[in-house]
Chain A
Amino acid sequence: MNRIDQKFKENKKLLSIYFSAGYPNLNDTIPILNSLQASGVDMVEIGLPFSDPLADGPTIQKSSTKALQNGMTTETLFNQLENIRGHINIPLVLMGYFNPIMQYGIEKFCKRCQATGIDGLIIPDLPVDVYHKEYKDLFVQYNLYNMFLITPQTPDSRIHYIDEVSNGFIYMVSSSSVTGAKSTIGDIQMDYFNRISEMNLKTPTIVGFGISNKETYNASIIHSKGVIIGSAFIKFLEEKGVQKIDDFIKSIRS
């Protein structure tokens, strides 16, 4: 069974953390993963840095740029992750834009993911219909899950389509914004989470974008299986460093 499915079967709310591979330093990938697992994080999205991350706000733009300056490449990341499954058991998802994956070679990329023990991918600029038509068979062949985003503006019919094509989880974007926007989880978000929850989708949902602290975490898990935190974690890394990761996780969920 895919590690993502296994994790979502557990009777608990999930905390998932995103970070940009190669940030703050090129070789921080493994130490960060070790700390996250030790702190009880349920799943990790490892960001493959891209020069033009158009769904990301300033924090992830900056960490991506820095990671590229540090010399991070797709090949380097795979090399760093080579023996990861010796000591990391939580699900790992690679999150990256489509162009670097295309240039690496899509099949080669999938193959390498499988060999490394990557459980799934999130590719924000690969639309669900293109994936469904052109790449789904390849992903299935290499036992890789592909996760999609929905937003408050996504029409119901499309949510049902995404649910049908999805496996793993659906990434519920909390509000219409790029990543890292300063936001609260208010009535509008709660109504939206509730609306999705009442659609009884076959795929579980987790909330991302704008989750930055205990308060937004607690509000978001009422109508979902869990949350993803990205920008707030990267800001923490920038200010406090890799050694203090446990403090951050405890501040969200203790």
Chain B
Amino acid sequence: MNYNVDEKGYYGDFGGAFIPEMLYPNVTELKENYLKISSEPEFKKEFDDLLKSYVGRPTPLYFAKRLSEKYKTKIYLKREDLCHTGAHKVNNTIGQILLAKRLGKNRIIAETGAGQHGVATATVCALMGIECIVYMGEHDIKRQAPNVARMKMLGAEVRSAQSGSKTLKDATNEAIRDWINNPVNTHYIIGSVVGPHPYPDMVARFQSIISQEIKWQLQELEGRDYPDHLIACVGGGSNAAGLYYHYLNDKRVNIIAVEAAGKGVNSGKSAATSALGKEGVIHGSKTLLMQTPDGQITEPYSISAGLDYPGVGPMHAHLYRSKRAEFFSIADQEAMDWGLTLSQMEGIIPAIETAHAFAILDTRKFGLDEVIVFNCSGRGDKDLDTYINYFKL
């Protein structure tokens, strides 16, 4: 079985481009150019140079000694939290801004939930001197004030999405509407492996630098270029896609995805899409998504704003259905506790999204001396308020 995208833009049953005709020219232009442009030597050089000198890559693959001792296994952390802007998101925005420039676009739009992708987009737009508009749900603007301020400092305009539930899915709708209204000069930088083909594949490829580095780093550290397990949190799934990418078809490697259970999978306040979702169409992609029996998309919940997306990227829907990956869901409380555990055992304060992945160590047994690589996808600075309120720090 193939776990990459096929030539029609599908991952098994999932993916495709379910878009209104108004978006057809924009999406077709991207589809016809993204592989061609991103494989040009000059593009690759500029991308690699920026990842090195601006983002700070390669990020370390860090052996977590104390955690490894406690769980009697070999735990490595891929330190995406050390990327400029504090998370893996910037790998993708660098790639897409270079692509947008070569397509002659002079206006960038993006959606953001917690604000990490918005900040990463505003950052690369400042870097390139390109106009940037970020759509953000009205509720999220109130909840994530520091990131709104960062985007503004970086010169972006933050537009409030007032429709529907006023969160990430509505911000995405607004960005799509903006793109319909501005089909010629604008590029839409989607932040996750979601949306119509070619977005899921394009974003996964830009994020695949993560697993590309792990291959040579593990070779140096372990004398073999593959781990036994790869573990990442999944909202839309971009950090996970980057972590898995070069190992998707390597059956020696077990893939583990961790979703947010929120207050519990069956509590009605959850974002565990694999458990609760049904096949459907959201934001131009056929995938698993949380919805009512009547096909209305429902609002997910997680304490971590980066995981409360009602769908999951089509690659992940395929990994789930084909049983290539193990899916788990972790509740708010376990994730928060692990935010504290990782801080105090390894001196790393993770984003709450990232903390969900680590909580798997208490849920699933691992073999003695198995090599496990976690994607430490983001740092916890943005979540300090939530940590402070939760732990009364």
Chain A contacts to B: CB under 8 angstroms: 50-58, 61-62, 65, 68, 73-75, 97-104, 124-128, 130, 148-151, 153-155, 158, 173, 176-178, 181
Contact = CB atoms under 8 A, between A and B. Distances in A.
Given A68-B296, A151-B22, A153-B25, A99 B282 contact: yes
A104 B183 contact: no
Most chain A CB within a 10 A radius of its CB, from B278, B283, B294: B294
Contact of B281 (A75, A99, A178): A99
B19 A181 contact: no
A130 B20 contact: no
Contacts, number: 114
A164 B292 CA distance: 36
Given A52-B169, A61-B164, 11 more contacts: A54-B176, A55-B22, A68-B296, A98-B281, A100-B294, A125-B19, A126-B18, A128-B21, A148-B21, A151-B22, A178-B177
Contacts of A75: 294
Interface of B: 16-22, 24-25, 163-164, 169-170, 173, 176-177, 180-184, 278-284, 291, 293-298
Contact of A54 (B177, B182, B279, B296): B177
A127 B294 contact: no
A122 to B, nearest CB: 11
Nearest to A96: B295
Given A100-B296, A130-B16, A52 B21 contact: no
Nearest to B17: A127
Contacts of A124: 20-21
Contacts of B164: 51-52, 61, 65
A50 B24 contact: no
29 contacts: A52-B283, A54-B283, A55-B22, A56-B177, A61-B164, A65-B164, A74-B295, A99-B282, A99-B295, A99-B297, A100-B296, A102-B280, A103-B278, A103-B295, A127-B18, A127-B19, A127-B21, A153-B184, A154-B21, A154-B25, A155-B25, A173-B21, A173-B22, A176-B182, A176-B183, A176-B184, A177-B180, A178-B180, A181-B181
Contact of A103 (B169, B180, B293): B293
Contacts of B184: 153, 176
Given A99-B291, A127-B19, A176-B22, A58 B163 contact: yes
